[in-house]
Amino acid sequence: MPVSTSFRLTSEKRPLGRRWWPVVLYATFLLVMVCSITWLLREQYVAEIQGARGRLHAKSDLVVELVERSFSTTEQVLVGLSDLFDTAGQPIVMKHSDEVSAFLRKRGSGLDFIDELFVMDTAGRTIATSSSGASGPPELWQEQSPPRFQSSTHSDVLITPLYWSEQAQDYRILMALRLRDASGEVRALAVARIMPIKLDGMLSDIDLQSGESIAIIDSNGRLVTRKPAAKIRLGNVIAAASTTDSFQDGEGPWEYSRASRVDGKHRLYVAHRTDFVPLLVISGQGTEELLAGWTQRLWALVFAGLLLALLGGWLIRHILALWQAKEALRYEVIERQKAQEDAMSREARLRALIGSMQDMLFVFDTAGHFVYIHAGDESMLLTPKSELLGMNIREVLPADVSVQIDVALSDVESTRAPQLVDYCLELGDELHFFSALLSPLVYEEHGELRGVLAVVRDVTEEQAQQVQLRIAALAFETHLGMMITDVQGNILKVNHTFTRITGYIESEVVGRTPSMLSSELHEEEVHQRLWGAVLEYGSWQGELWSRRKNGETYPQWLTISAVKDECGQCTHYVGTLSDISESKAAEREIHQLAFFDTLTGLPNRRLMLERIDKALASHRRNEELGALIFLNLDDFKQVNEALGYQGGDELLKCMAQRLESVLQEGDSLARFGGDEFVVLIGELEASTQVECRAAECVARTLLDVLEQPITLAGQTLTVTASIGITLLRNDVTADELLRQADMALFQAKSLGRNMACFFDLEMQERIRQRTQLEKDLGQALGNEELFLVYQYQVDEFGKTIGAEALLRWRHPLRGLVPPSEFIPIAEQQQVIHQIGLWVIETACQTLVAWSQSDMWTTLSLSVNVSPKQFHAPDFVQRVDEILRRTKAPANKLKLEVTESLFMDDHEDIRQRMIALKSLGVTFALDDFGTGYSSFSYLKRLPLDQLKIDQSFVRDVLDNSTSSAIVASTIALAHTLELDVIAEGVENEAQRAWLLENGCHCFQGYLFSIPAPLDQGPETSCA
């Protein structure tokens, strides 16, 4: 056997060296061929690229020269503008601008790309322009060029990149030149506005090959012109900022290759920068067209190389096939010898294998008799080996085991497939577990079953290991803390998570009981119920407090499970535990979010309502007195607008801290949202009078602490608040108590800022009536409850010259409601806009009716306009629509406005008044002197008349101050050429005094009372 093996190995190695040399030769040939083709293609590629770069440089140089020549010609035109100055450098004064324009047009007539010429002084003011109409300096020049050109000392010429001209509605380029006198001092600036689109003609005569392109861009990457033309327009950015920046940093020219931003084609580019013009000339050659011929040669060479490689490969394959056929005969002889040797070797190995096996082997015949027996350890046999041969399995094995084997043998006979049987036997005093694999022994020719082979293994140790593995898997395949104990509760094993949670390592707890982790916060009864559930149900889970190694107590979620064997007996206990400190903290955070304000940390509305309910219940049960304070910061919106929302939040937190600092331990402070705070005061004195004084004292303390100056964002602020107070009562709920405090707060705000008011039932009734009045007012216009009355105006002779329309409301239940009561409500509820427009339209209809009578056609009609209505964005438009719709004479409509209209945004009000004046409407300033009086707006606003307020007219005979104010008002009106009328004239003495002091128009009860327009006005008053 050793001799034949040596012969075989030698015969196998001998042809290998001869076989490899054709392959090596062929691979060398392929390598040389590939290197040659690669070198040839590379040289041709370099030549193509170098040639293309040379052509692009030549064309770029040509375009640069054309561009510089064009701008040099423009520079000469600008130099020629010095003829506009005399020898002393002073501008020649031309009386006719047409002559100047003609001179400039003549200078620029030779260059069609010059759009317009300008001559400006050194301050940027236009002296002359080639445009026939008035034209100022170019937009870009106004914004940027004068300071930059004046500060530049490098050149007398300035050329800008492309910019958008609003005058030309297109992109333009500015070229400016300093004009100096004989002494070299700059006297003026000559500026040419150039049309870049005219530069297209420079590129039209340049021949381009296939794939070539030429573009001119400015220093910002915007397109000036391009050949061939593309969809992208003049002024669009076609070069990235990084590209233009790199061009500015070097001298150039530059070469680069990238995809075009115009058509997306990849090109080889050459960029040239002009010497004094901020333009770049970029020539490009498409790589696809440039390398078209090179690509064709590439594929031809690749095809030829592949053909040669295939031919060589075929030849090598043929040579190797001949060698393989020659060696096949030699291998056949060797394989026959090898088969004989392998058969002998397998038989010997099989005997050795069976002899070394620890498993037991049994061969049964079809009747179940032992035919062959192998047992490495004969102590595993129930009967000695010599006695077993020929015995039936039923005679040897216990009845239950023999039944299992009989069933398995029947299955093997019927299915011809191996069967696995697990069983256990008592050998001596020990229980052993066995696993038997029964395999059929079949004749291969006929398929007849001639016996069964049984391979039996003792798996007692494996069973024990599987139990341990199940326990280990349950303990360690989890992120929870694990603890395994025996039936007596002694700890056997813990995992790393247990150590991380408790702080105890495994060696410190093994052998001890879990009671070492007890926090002693639970009574013994809790532990008894726990183990009772484990014994009854096999498991328990719940929340317990435990103790770490460092003594810290913590909440944990504990699960205890009983581990049972196949017989249902408990063998171990497994405990899983997790630290729920974070979830407890999350619960506390959720509680904080649900019941406390996130900004200030104070209780929120929900928690305060609960505390109010408890206080009311205590008040009913124990008659404990208390009060509820509703506090609102004054003008907090203005603070937010001045400091921003962050500053407003800081102010709220500071105010909350101040309020808390002055409250007693039994008081509760809450933030209801925005700038509203609620204070619940408890344990007041046992009498209503004392209770009120105590609540008022607390409110005053709160106002005082809030009023102290505070510095935020570098600004010192003084914050005030308004307070509403209500006392706890038996017959109210928490919501009703809050509404009462809110009503009192509203009353405090209506009386002024920094005040506190108590709620009373009369206040509630007033607010209820006001609320009902607000609701009714919203329906009054639709129900035709509003109507106009008219009070006539007369001149010094008693002749009626006009009237004032006054609004009245006839309520279906209350009768006539005073205007002083419902007009403020209308302004607050925003219904003043609809009501005001109805009043104007009704007045216009009255004017139309008057215009149809010769007796009344000269009368004017005054209408009061609310400032809120006047501020409406569409007020002017709506008045115009009313005038057009009613066809009323606009010059007879007089709108009366008050001084409060001019408190803010004077210019916007002025523009609105001018727009209304353009319609023909006139204006009267009502109640002059009672509000915001300023001579500046009297001068600027288009007023027609001043109305002296009746409060001054009433005291004109008895009060020297009132008489002085009225006289001054009359004199001021005459000075400003305004009409003046006095309202509220009630007796002849007042009329005489007014007439003596220059007032010739009057209105008041002396002449007429406000009345409905049942008939036309009298032409004179009795």
pLDDT digits (tens, 9 = 90+) for 416-465: 888 888 888 877 777 888 888 888 887 666 667 778 888 888 887 887 77
Q: Give the per-residue pLDDT at 922.
A: 94
Query: In this predicted structure, what is the pLDDT of residue 995?
Result: 92
- If pLDDT is split at 50, 70 and 90, which confidence band does 1 have? very low
> How large is the average pLDDT for residues 131-160?
61
Cα–Cα dist 380/288, whole Å:
87
pLDDT of residue 733: 84
DSSP state of 1013: -
Tens-digit pLDDT profile for residues 288-301:
887 877 888 888 88
- Single-letter amino acid, residue 977: E
- Greatest extent of the chain over all pairs of C-alpha atoms, in Å: 160
Distance CA 277, CA 272 (A): 11
- pLDDT of 860 reads 92
Q: Judge whether 450 and 442 are in contact, CB under 8 Å.
A: yes
State both tokens at 852.
């149809």
Query: CATH 3.30.70.270 region(s) of the chain?
Result: 596-759
What is the rounded distance in angstroms from the CA atom of residue 258 to the CA atom of residue 238? 13
Q: To which residue do tokens 């408190």 refer?
A: 903
Find the helix or strand (DSSP H, E) in which 555 lies: strand 553-564
Is the pLDDT at 61 greater than 80? The verdict is yes
Q: Is the pLDDT of residue 540 over 50?
A: yes
Q: How many CB atoms lie within 10 A of CB 123?
A: 8
Where residue 243 falls among pLDDT bands split at 50, 70, 90?
low
CATH number corresponding to 360-461: 3.30.450.20
Helix/strand/coil (H, E, C) string of 196-229?
Answer: HHHHHHHHHCCCCCCCEEEEEEECCCEEEEEECC
pLDDT band at 11 (very low <50, low <70, confident <90, very high): very low
Average pLDDT over residues 567-592: 80
Strand-pair category, 800-811 with 860-864: parallel
Higher pLDDT, 344 or 13: 344
pLDDT digits (tens, 9 = 90+) for 404-420: 888 888 888 888 888 88
Interval 852-859 mean pLDDT: 86
Phi-psi region of 316 (alpha: psi -120 to 50; beta: other; left: phi over 0): alpha
Q: Residue 841: what pLDDT?
A: 93
Q: 367 vs 355, 390, 441, 450, 871, CA distance in Å?
A: 27, 11, 13, 10, 116
Looking at residue 100, its pLDDT comes to 66
10 Å CB burial of residue 206 (0-12, 13-18, 19+) is: middle
Which pLDDT value is given to residue 843?
93
Residue with tokens 């049309």: 195
pLDDT > 70 fraction of the chain, expressed in percent and rounded: 86
Q: For residue 950, what are the CA distances in angstroms to 103, 963, 986? A: 69, 12, 10
Q: Indicate the CATH number for domain 48-196.
A: 3.30.450.20
The H-assigned helical ranges of 752-811 are 761-780
Contact yes or no for 265/257 (Cβ under 8 A): no
- Each residue of 931-983: pLDDT tens digit? 555 666 677 788 899 999 888 898 888 888 888 889 988 988 888 889 999 99
Rounded to an integer, the average pLDDT of 581-593 is 74
Q: How far apart are CA 110 and CA 868, in angstroms?
A: 63
Which one of 205-219, 361-375, 549-563, 878-892 scores highest in mean pLDDT?
878-892
pLDDT of 9 higher than 60: no
More confident residue, 991 or 385: 991
Summarize pLDDT for 31-52 with one digit per residue, the tens.
888 898 888 888 888 888 888 8
CA distance 499 to 549: 10
At 850, is the pLDDT very low, low, confident or very high (cuts 50, 70, 90)?
very high
Report yes or no on whether pTM surpasses 0.75. Answer: no
| Statement: residue 878 has pLDDT above 90 | yes
Percent of the chain with pLDDT over 90: 11
What pLDDT, on the 0 to 100 scale, is given for residue 1019? Answer: 37
According to CATH, the superfamily of the domain at 777-1003 is: EAL domain (3.20.20.450)
Which residue do the tokens 């002083």 mark? 820
Predicted local distance difference test score (pLDDT) of residue 396: 82
All CATH 3.20.20.450 domain ranges of the chain, comma separated, are: 777-1003
What's the distance, CA 694 to chain centroid? Answer: 50
pLDDT of residue 999: 94
More confident residue, 11 or 354: 354
CA distances from residue 745 to 29, 557, 629, 708, 767 in whole angstroms, order as listed:
104, 51, 9, 21, 12
Residue 919 and residue 946 in contact, taking contact as beta carbons nearer than 8 Å: no
Using pLDDT thresholds of 50, 70 and 90, give the confidence band for residue 859: very high
DSSP state, residue 90: P
Over residues 771-798, mean pLDDT: 87
Three-state DSSP at 945 gives strand
What's the mean pLDDT in 763-772? 66
Tokens matching residue 795:
């001149």
Beta-strand ranges (E) seen in 528-625 are: 539-547, 553-564, 570-579
In 3D, which of 541, 532, 545 has the Cα closest to residue 561?
A: 541
pLDDT value of residue 1016? 47
Pairing of strands 721-727, 756-758: parallel
Judge contact between 839 and 805, C-beta under 8 A.
Answer: yes
* Helix residue spans in 109-224 (DSSP H): 139-143, 145-151, 200-204
Left, alpha or beta for 520 (phi > 0: left; psi -120 to 50: alpha)?
left
Whether the per-residue pLDDT at 569 is higher than 50: the answer is: yes
Query: Which class in CATH covers the domain with range 477-576?
Result: alpha beta
If you average pLDDT over every residue of the chain, what do you get? Answer: 80
Nearest CA among 881, 780, 791, 883 for reference residue 832: 780
Is-contact 60 214, C-beta < 8 A? yes
Is residue 1021 over pLDDT 50? no
- Is CATH 1.10.1370.30 what the domain over 596-759 is classified as, yes or no? no
pLDDT in tens, 137-146: 666 555 555 4
Under 8 Å between Cβ of 287 and 266: yes
Q: Which two tokens stand for residue 123?
A: 């301050």
Instruction: Please list the residue range(s) of the chain that carry CATH number 3.30.450.20.
Output: 48-196, 360-461, 477-576
Q: Three-state SS string across 649-688, please?
A: HHHHHHHHHHHHHHCCCCCEEEEEECCEEEEEEECCCCCH
If one compares 315 and 520, the residue with the highest pLDDT of the two is: 315
Q: Interior CA angle at 283 toward 280 and 285, to 5°? A: 155
- pLDDT score of 164 more than 80: yes
The answer to whether 491 and 513 are in contact (CB under 8 A) is yes
Q: Is the pLDDT of residue 8 over 70?
A: no
Confidence band, pLDDT 50/70/90 cuts, at residue 159? confident
Residue 689: pLDDT band (50, 70, 90) is low
CB 982 within 8 A of CB 1013: no
pLDDT at 93: 44
**pLDDT of res. 354:** 67
Per-residue DSSP letter, 420: E
- Report whether pLDDT(10) > 50: no
Give the separation between CA 171 and CA 164, rounded to whole angstroms: 4
Residue 620 has a pLDDT of 78
Per the CB < 8 A criterion, the answer to whether 433 and 457 are in contact is no
Q: For 1001-1019, what is the mean pLDDT? A: 78
Given a cut of 50, whether residue 95 has pLDDT beyond it is no
Residue 1022 clears pLDDT 80, i.e. is over it: no
Rounded to a whole number of angstroms, the distance between the first and last alpha carbons of the chain is 159
Identify whether 161 is preceded by a cis peptide bond (ω within 30 of 0): no
Residue 1004 has pLDDT above 90, yes or no: yes
